[in-house]
């Protein structure tokens, strides 16, 4: 094989080997970046569910602590105007200072409202509640508190938690609230009523919104954050891009209705099983591939948790944009370098092989001339 052909082949083989090595390292880098991204999404889900649990922990103990404002364990004389006004004033102060309560009420065992806040968190007057004692007596939460069905079965004086649900004290279809309630016991340990805190669920939705804002600022605008209950039903479906709204709006065709476990979402099934991790699966409704970080509630301190789980889902082409770009740019660079090596090797081979070829021809010519001269002498 001619030297002018051998040299380019040697350069191309050597250059291709180096570039293949570079592509392999890029691919390994892509996998490492994607693994890190998956872990980061999982970590954000874990941090979010912990933040929610710690907030609920505070609400869990508020219901017990607020009862101290009554002054004693014995039932106050609510027929006394001064006593009743003092209690209502305290309830208004709780609502105004904590900014998470829609209503706070003291109710007797027959469903009669003994006291309830009269102003909202902004200090504006509230209308009378629409629910009656007959309505209360039929509700799950009223009978649950009355029966001492708390989150801690060993402490019936601890807090009962219910919800979120619509229309607890009013028929407002936009309301979405939770109940944190405790039984009120006298000195003999006999119940005489219950303390009921109505928590506006926007408290939890705002926490979810803050996490979305953080991920969006990192270039993941199509992030969806979903909070599901212990059975897989959606409690929060935070998807501003999908809902085409900068402000979160509850869609009650989805919230409290759609069950992601029944829909077959892998991450939801794993989460309600008590696991924390990440997976890649197809969105149930959008039919797009997403990376999903999920985490199950573990409670906080002596608050045992409600069995909720957080799912943070991001389209893979968005979540893995950096790693995919790394591989693309590496491939482009490898292609350009391969072409450059090929051109340079052909150029170099001609620069080197040209003079060598001329020299070879000259040597061959000299050798041929000497051979003819020797042959002539032999003939003479």
* Same domain membership, residue 257 and residue 179: no
Cα–Cα distance measured from residue 67 to residue 11, given in angstroms and rounded to the nearest whole number: 85
Tell me the CA distances in angstroms from 242 to 46, 222, 245, 266, 267, one per residue in order.
Answer: 23, 8, 8, 21, 20
* Same domain membership, residue 266 and residue 159: no
Residue 335, domain member (yes or no): no
Task: Write the CB contacts of 330 (distance below 8 Å, at least 6 apart in sequence).
Answer: 22, 23, 26
Tens digit of pLDDT at every position of the chain (380 positions)? 555 566 566 666 666 766 666 666 665 555 556 667 778 889 999 999 999 999 999 999 999 999 999 988 889 999 999 999 999 999 999 999 999 999 999 999 999 999 999 999 999 999 888 777 778 898 999 999 999 889 887 787 889 999 999 888 877 667 899 999 999 999 898 999 999 999 999 999 999 999 999 988 888 888 899 999 999 999 999 998 888 877 888 999 999 999 999 988 889 999 999 999 988 777 666 677 788 899 999 999 999 999 999 999 988 777 555 655 655 666 666 667 666 766 766 666 666 656 656 666 666 667 666 555 554 544 44
- Give the helix, strand, coil percentages of the chain, each rounded to 5: 50, 20, 30
* Same domain membership, residue 300 and residue 208: yes
Residue 130, domain member (yes or no): yes
Task: Write the CB contacts of 380 (distance below 8 Å, at least 6 apart in sequence).
Answer: none
- 3-class secondary structure, 186: coil
* Same domain membership, residue 174 and residue 244: no
* Same domain membership, residue 190 and residue 209: no
* Same domain membership, residue 235 and residue 168: no
Residue of 32, 213, 184, 179 lying closest to 102 (CA atoms): 179
pTM above 0.85, yes or no: no
* Same domain membership, residue 128 and residue 48: no
Take residue 175 and report the two structure tokens written for it. 């309301």
Cα–Cα distance measured from residue 380 to residue 375, given in angstroms and rounded to the nearest whole number: 9
**Residue 376 φ/ψ region, left for φ over 0, alpha for ψ in the -120 to 50 degree band, beta for the rest:** alpha
- Number of domains present in the structure of the chain: 2
Residue 348, domain member (yes or no): no
Residue 62, domain member (yes or no): no
**In the listed set 272, 305, 323, which residue is the last one of a domain according to the structure?**
323
**In the listed set 300, 323, 346, which residue is the last one of a domain according to the structure?**
323
What's the DSSP call for residue 152? S
Q: Which domain holds residue 167?
A: 71-200
Q: Which residues pair with 93 in a beta bridge?
A: none
Task: Indicate the Cα dihedral angle 315, 320, 324, 326, nearest 10°.
Answer: 160
* Same domain membership, residue 238 and residue 187: no
Q: Are 196 and 105 contacting, i.e. CB atoms less than 8 angstroms apart?
A: yes
Residue 42, domain member (yes or no): yes
Residue 370, domain member (yes or no): no
Cα–Cα distance measured from residue 153 to residue 159, given in angstroms and rounded to the nearest whole number: 10
φ, ψ (nearest 5 deg) of residue 85: -65, -40
* Same domain membership, residue 210 and residue 189: no
Helices (H), ranges, the chain = 3-66, 81-98, 133-138, 140-146, 202-217, 240-243, 266-272, 316-319, 321-379
Burial class (CB in 10 A: 0-12, 13-18, 19+), 293: buried
**In the listed set 179, 200, 221, which residue is the last one of a domain according to the structure?**
200
* Same domain membership, residue 209 and residue 174: no
Please report the pLDDT score of residue 276 as a whole number: 92
* Same domain membership, residue 287 and residue 172: no
Question: Domain holding 299: CATH number?
Answer: 3.30.450.20
CA atoms within 13 A on the CB side of 265: 32
Residue 223, domain member (yes or no): yes
Residue 343, domain member (yes or no): no
* Same domain membership, residue 210 and residue 107: no
């Amino acid at each position: 094989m001619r030297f002018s052909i051998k040299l380019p082949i040697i350069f191309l083989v050597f250059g291709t080997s180096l570039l293949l090595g570079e592509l392999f390292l890029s691919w390994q880098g892509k996998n490492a970046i994607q693994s890190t991204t998956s872990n980061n999404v999982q970590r954000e889900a874990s941090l979010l569910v912990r933040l929610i649990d710690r907030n609920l922990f505070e609400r869990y103990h508020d219901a017990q602590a607020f009862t101290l404002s009554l002054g004693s364990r014995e039932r106050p004389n609510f027929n006394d105007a001064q006593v009743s006004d003092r209690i209502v004033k305290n309830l208004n102060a709780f609502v105004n200072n904590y900014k998470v309560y829609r209503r706070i009420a003291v109710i007797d065992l027959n469903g009669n409202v003994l006291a309830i806040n009269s102003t909202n968190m902004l200090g504006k007057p509230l209308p009378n509640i629409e629910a009656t004692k007959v309505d209360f007596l039929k509700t799950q939460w009223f009978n649950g508190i009355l029966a001492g069905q708390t989150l801690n079965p060993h402490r019936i004086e601890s807090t009962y938690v219910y919800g979120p649900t619509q229309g607890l004290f009013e028929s407002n279809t936009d309301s979405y609230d939770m109940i944190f309630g405790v039984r009120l016991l006298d000195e003999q340990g006999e119940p005489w009523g219950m303390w009921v805190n109505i928590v506006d669920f926007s408290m939890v939705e705002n926490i979810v919104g803050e996490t979305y804002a953080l991920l969006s600022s990192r270039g993941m605008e199509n992030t969806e954050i979903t909070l599901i209950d212990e059975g897989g039903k959606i409690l929060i479906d935070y998807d501003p891009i999908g809902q085409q709204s900068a402000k979160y709006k509850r869609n009650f065709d989805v919230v409290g209705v759609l069950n992601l476990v029944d829909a077959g979402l892998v991450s939801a099934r794993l989460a309600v099983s008590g696991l924390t991790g990440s997976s890649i699966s197809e969105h149930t409704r959008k039919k797009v591939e997403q990376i999903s970080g999920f985490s199950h509630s573990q409670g906080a301190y002596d608050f045992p948790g409600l069995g909720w789980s957080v799912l943070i889902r991001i389209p893979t082409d968005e979540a893995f944009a950096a790693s995919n770009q790394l591989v693309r740019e590496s491939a482009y660079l490898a292609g350009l370098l391969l072409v450059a090596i090929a051109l340079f090797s052909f150029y170099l081979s001609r620069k080197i092989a040209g003079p060598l070829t001329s020299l070879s021809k000259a040597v061959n010519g000299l050798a041929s001339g000497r051979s003819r001269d020797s042959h002539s002498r032999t003939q003479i």
